[in-house]
A and B are shown apart, each in its own frame.
Chain A
Amino acid sequence: MRLVVDLNKCQGYAQCAFLAPDVFAMHGEESLIYNPRAEEEQRERLARAVAACPVQAITADGLDRVGEVREAPDGR
């Protein structure tokens, strides 16, 4: 899955790095770095990161429109 973060919007609060640590990482106190190509098995985690970002800075293929963000089936 392709993704991009609008780092002008990003506030560096690290919710995404907490929810999808294989995709997002903090570098120093508030710089976010990320892999713009996430593995398919990261889909659920990525969806949660997209939904949790307080400033909607993350756009990912097929996940960015609110209606399409699926909850994890078992509510994890």
Chain B
Amino acid sequence: MAADYVEWLRREGRIVIVGASLAGLRAAETLRAEGFAGELTLIGDEPYEPYDRPPLSKSVLLGMASPHHTELPHRWEIDAKWRLGVAATGLDPTAKRVRLADGDEVEYDRLLIATGVRARPWPKPEEARLDGVCLLRTCEDAADLYRRLKAGPRRVFVIGAGFAGSEVASACREMNLPVTVAERAGAPLVGALGGVIGAVAADLQTENGVDLRTHVTVTALEGDPAGRVRAVHLSDESVVEADVVVVSLGSLRNTEWLQGSGLGAGPRGVACDAGCRAFDFRGIVTDDVFVAGDVARSPHALFGYQFLSLEHWGNAVAQAETAAHNMICHGAERRPHLWMPAFWSSMFGVNIKSVGVPPMGEQLMVTQGSLAERRFAAVYGYQDRIVAAVTFDNTRWLEFYQRQIEIGAPFPVEYPTMDRRPEGRQPVDARFPDPSLPTHGPMVTLSGYSPADQQLVFHPARH
């Protein structure tokens, strides 16, 4: 009977994908590529066809690409019904219906949730509304920010030195704009890579002329009588005049529309099993609702089956492909999502890449190159195993370290390398902040073992 259902579904079933961005598009393509011949609907609240976000903080701000033209190429003809510019506002998993903001309802046989995340706004609404206070997540955000930077502001102020904030600061310096970056932690990128690597990122910023302020929080944004932002007040009582403020405080998962649906969805995302099937709030896996991309939290075999939320481009692609495959095949042919976490970033002309889960690491060893030269490879260790690696301008070694993580290679590392420097011989504390304190944009969140996450309340920063 079950086999017949899958055959029927593949032939004439209805699949609905909510969230028409990277994960949604790649899932739709995989469904068609693997022979799904039924009805496919993509629902997305942005009025644009799926576009790519990483260029928005890189080539777009460097003036090499238009913010309105980062649309993703299509790998496959997907022949879908597109419902763009309309948000999903509710889900009834029993009746198998998605409710839309315009009052419509769309029925499905199988559903994929790919609603991603949004930028965390400045917490004081009246200050957030000031003209010149910007976020960076959508193409409209990028167009607005780029226009303001081109207008030659006296100073740009970036709140939060995660990857996104640091990339914005880098673009500002490239445009020769004065820029101040404020970070609550002791250095940029600390949540993602720890304090040792963060110190390298800090040097990179200051040497490139960024006015970097660490161990401070922003207490208030001050506007002029015309409603334009004019100054930023900091916890150390200093005041910095700026006419563009970029709020780069990480992200919020787009799960509000699932409230009352009974799914295990909350501020940390939608929990799913290794096959991308969503859990309900009781921790029981569903069979018709799947999840992929930034909004998902899924258990990972290589990292002790902890639920990971990965805000990584590569994860969205891989998880979408696995989810789509599993949506239209029989149980035995399903695959687990075992993607090795990986991301890249680029700032001040340096290529930063990582594999594995750095925040899981307690100790760090520089295995090649040197921190001082800003060209190195370093590995993170946890319980005598390598769990992650990071490279600065040393991409070609990353694959080697990826294999080391996959085979659970021992830490501290034992292999002799051709260019081991004294600084790498001994493991040092990787210096991650206390995990119970929220950090800005860590990009990977280790979120424990509970599939039901509804009660969790995230306390935003004390800004």
> Residues of A at under 8 Å CB distance from B?
1-4, 6-8, 10-12, 25, 27-31, 33-37, 59-61, 64
B314 pairs with A64, CB closer than 8 A? no
Smallest distance from the beta carbon of A35 to chain B beta carbons, Å? 4
Complex interface bits, B168-211 against A, C-beta within 8 A gives 1, otherwise 0: 00000000000000000000000000000000000000000000
> What are 27 inter-chain pairs, A to B, with CB distance below 8 A?
A2-B74, A3-B73, A4-B73, A6-B314, A8-B342, A8-B343, A8-B344, A10-B344, A11-B396, A12-B351, A12-B395, A28-B348, A29-B350, A29-B351, A30-B395, A31-B346, A31-B349, A31-B350, A33-B55, A33-B64, A35-B64, A36-B70, A37-B70, A59-B73, A59-B75, A61-B73, A64-B73
Complex interface bits, B336-356 against A, C-beta within 8 A gives 1, otherwise 0: 000000111010111101000
B349 pairs with A4, CB closer than 8 A? no
Which of B69, B343, B350, B353 has a CB less than 8 Å from the CB of A28?
B350
Q: What is the CA–CA distance of A4 and B71 in the complex, to the nearest angstrom?
A: 9
Q: What is the CA–CA distance of A14 and B64 in the complex, to the nearest angstrom?
A: 17
Name the residue among A7, A8, A59 with the largest chain B CB count within 10 angstroms: A8
Which of B64, B344, B375, B396 has a CB less than 8 Å from the CB of A34?
B64
List the B side residues contacting A37 at CB < 8 Å. Answer: 65-66, 69-71
The interface on chain B, measured as residues whose beta carbon lies within 8 A of the other chain's beta carbons, has a size of 32
Q: What is the CA–CA distance of A38 and B295 in the complex, to the nearest angstrom?
A: 31
The verdict on B93 contacting chain A, using a C-beta distance below 8 Å, is: no
A30-B393, A31-B350 known; A7-B344 Cβ under 8 A: yes
B55 pairs with A36, CB closer than 8 A? yes
A33 pairs with B346, CB closer than 8 A? yes
List the A side residues contacting B353 at CB < 8 Å. Answer: 8
| Inter-chain residue pair count (beta carbon < 8 A) | 81
List the A side residues contacting B317 at CB < 8 Å. Answer: 6
The verdict on B72 contacting chain A, using a C-beta distance below 8 Å, is: yes
A27-B62, A34-B59, A36-B65 known; A8-B314 Cβ under 8 A: yes
Smallest distance from the beta carbon of A45 to chain B beta carbons, Å? 16
Q: What is the CA–CA distance of A8 and B310 in the complex, to the nearest angstrom?
A: 14
Q: What is the CA–CA distance of A7 and B72 in the complex, to the nearest angstrom?
A: 14
Smallest distance from the beta carbon of B343 to chain A beta carbons, Å? 7
In the complex, the chain A residue whose C-beta lies closest to that of B347 is A31
List the B side residues contacting A31 at CB < 8 Å. Answer: 346, 349-351
Which of A8, A27, A30 has a CB less than 8 Å from the CB of B313?
A8
In the complex, besides A11-B395, A31-B351, A34-B65, 11 extra interface pairs with C-beta distance below 8 angstroms are A4-B73, A10-B395, A11-B396, A12-B395, A29-B349, A29-B393, A30-B393, A31-B350, A33-B59, A36-B70, A59-B73
Q: What is the CA–CA distance of A29 and B375 in the complex, to the nearest angstrom?
A: 10
Q: What is the CA–CA distance of A36 and B343 in the complex, to the nearest angstrom?
A: 19
A35 pairs with B313, CB closer than 8 A? no
List the A side residues contacting B342 at CB < 8 Å. Answer: 8
Smallest distance from the beta carbon of A24 to chain B beta carbons, Å? 10
The verdict on B52 contacting chain A, using a C-beta distance below 8 Å, is: yes
List the A side residues contacting B223 at CB < 8 Å. Answer: none
B65 pairs with A30, CB closer than 8 A? no
In the complex, the chain A residue whose C-beta lies closest to that of B49 is A2
Smallest distance from the beta carbon of B244 to chain A beta carbons, Å? 22
List the A side residues contacting B349 at CB < 8 Å. Answer: 27-29, 31
B350 pairs with A4, CB closer than 8 A? no
Smallest distance from the beta carbon of B406 to chain A beta carbons, Å? 15
List the A side residues contacting B268 at CB < 8 Å. Answer: none
A36 pairs with B69, CB closer than 8 A? yes
A7-B54, A31-B346, A36-B59 known; A2-B64 Cβ under 8 A: no
List the A side residues contacting B59 at CB < 8 Å. Answer: 33-36
Q: What is the CA–CA distance of A4 and B316 in the complex, to the nearest angstrom?
A: 14
Q: What is the CA–CA distance of A1 and B70 in the complex, to the nearest angstrom?
A: 10
B344 pairs with A33, CB closer than 8 A? no
Q: What is the CA–CA distance of A17 and B59 in the complex, to the nearest angstrom?
A: 14
List the A side residues contacting B55 at CB < 8 Å. Answer: 33-34, 36
List the B side residues contacting A59 at CB < 8 Å. Answer: 73, 75
A35 pairs with B65, CB closer than 8 A? yes
Q: What is the CA–CA distance of A73 and B343 in the complex, to the nearest angstrom?
A: 38
Q: What is the CA–CA distance of A33 and B344 in the complex, to the nearest angstrom?
A: 12
In the complex, the chain B residue whose C-beta lies closest to that of A62 is B73
List the A side residues contacting B75 at CB < 8 Å. Answer: 59, 64
A33 pairs with B62, CB closer than 8 A? yes
